[in-house]
């Protein structure tokens, strides 16, 4: 199947919310991790979301080029070709974009999509995330209004965040404190500023104790009930059940019960990065340890080309990550729900 059109992406999100499941949104940083995500979705018979962060996009452009727009564009174009060979539908998304990177990442990508749409083509990406968690809520919402209007013209769904995700991602560190919990007042202010769909569709990353990275049990204090509270507060004012399409960030180490509770409150997308990174790297480490004298030319020997050929351990890495993607689909109940 091809990459999802804007209409199909909207249908995917509607089906998830109505069906009580969520899509794994898998961060990728290379063609191989993209292939692993696609393989995992196909094996789980699940549609899904592939996403790239600012750091991932920079990495994709090349270690000396370091251009986020180039890397993101290259990924999107490559994905359009290879995804067509898989029997699932996949949406392309860009992950956290803070204020200081808007002009070098999200805004230029929106411009590319606006140009594509003006020519009768689909947008380059199906959704982009504006991460205003580091600025005051009022400023966050003012910027969100501008970006939502532009996204709607580009036929793109915007994702935005209210509240703060703790931990670390791409060098951005969030403290672990009460700001990790979005309040009903935050949600009402959001609905007032950007509407609940009538001004353009958006996904909302409301925080309920979320932390990026992986921690020992008990370190992360998730309160999924926060999501129920904000949905009910806005529903009471606007008369629409579960008005927000919610996103679950920082889910590593979450219990299945917490994940399923969050989905029941309207989560339709869950970001997964740390766990799939490990699932990709672990088979490579195993290969290197088992083939030490083959991957290295020890004592001037010639080594073993079959074991230091990147394809030999790359295949194992892809399989390992794909298996973890399947597990994510099963945990989020999207397995077996593909559109076609």
Point out the residues that are catalytic: 95
The sign of the dihedral angle between the CA atoms of 297, 298, 302, 306 is negative
* Separation CA 90–CA 116 (nearest Å): 19
Cα distances (angstroms) measured from residue 165 to each of 30, 202, 207: 25, 19, 6
- In 3D space, the residue among 127, 68, 70, 129 whose CA is nearest the CA of residue 99 turns out to be 129
- In 3D space, the residue among 173, 12, 165 whose CA is nearest the CA of residue 93 turns out to be 12
* Separation CA 265–CA 249 (nearest Å): 15
Cα distances (angstroms) measured from residue 154 to each of 188, 203, 290: 26, 16, 50
Task: Answer yes or no: are the C-beta atoms of 243 and 234 closer than 8 Å.
Answer: yes
Strands (E), 131-187: 157-162, 166-169, 172-174
The sign of the dihedral angle between the CA atoms of 140, 145, 147, 148 is positive
Residue that is written with structure tokens 């079959």 in the block:
306
């Amino acid at each position: 199947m091809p990459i999802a059109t804007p209409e199909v992406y909207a249908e995917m999100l509607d089906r998830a919310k109505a069906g009580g499941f969520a899509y794994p949104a898998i961060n990728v940083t290379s063609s191989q991790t993209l292939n692993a995500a696609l393989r995992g979705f196909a094996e789980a018979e699940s549609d899904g979301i592939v996403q790239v962060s600012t750091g991932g996009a920079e990495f994709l452009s090349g270690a000396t080029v370091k251009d986020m727009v180039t890397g993101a564009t290259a990924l999107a174009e490559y994905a359009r070709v290879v995804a067509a060979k898989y029997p699932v539908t996949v949406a392309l998304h860009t992950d956290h974009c803070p204020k200081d990177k808007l002009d070098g990442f999200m805004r230029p990508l929106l411009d590319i999509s606006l140009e594509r749409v003006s020519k009768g083509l689909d947008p380059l990406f199906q959704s982009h995330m504006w991460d205003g968690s580091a600025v005051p809520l009022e400023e966050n919402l003012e910027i969100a209004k501008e970006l939502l209007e532009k996204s709607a013209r580009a036929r793109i769904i915007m994702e935005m965040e209210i509240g703060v995700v703790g931990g670390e991602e791409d060098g951005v560190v969030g403290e672990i404190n009460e700001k990790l919990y979005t309040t009903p007042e935050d949600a009402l202010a959001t609905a007032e500023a950007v509407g609940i769909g009538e001004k353009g569709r958006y996904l909302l990353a409301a925080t309920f104790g979320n932390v990026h990275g992986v921690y020992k049990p008990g370190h992360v204090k998730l309160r999924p009930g926060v999501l129920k509270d904000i949905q009910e507060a806005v529903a009471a004012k606007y008369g629409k059940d579960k008005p927000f399409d919610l996103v679950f960030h920082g889910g590593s180490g979450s219990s299945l019960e917490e994940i399923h509770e969050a989905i029941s409150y309207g989560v339709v997308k869950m970001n997964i990065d740390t766990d799939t990174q490990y699932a990709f790297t672990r088979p490579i480490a195993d290969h290197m340890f088992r083939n030490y004298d083959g991957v290295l030319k020890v004592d001037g020997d010639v080594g073993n080309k079959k074991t230091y050929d990147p394809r030999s351990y790359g295949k194992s890495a892809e399989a390992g990550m794909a298996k973890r993607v399947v597990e994510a689909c099963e945990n989020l109940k999207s397995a077996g729900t593909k559109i076609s």
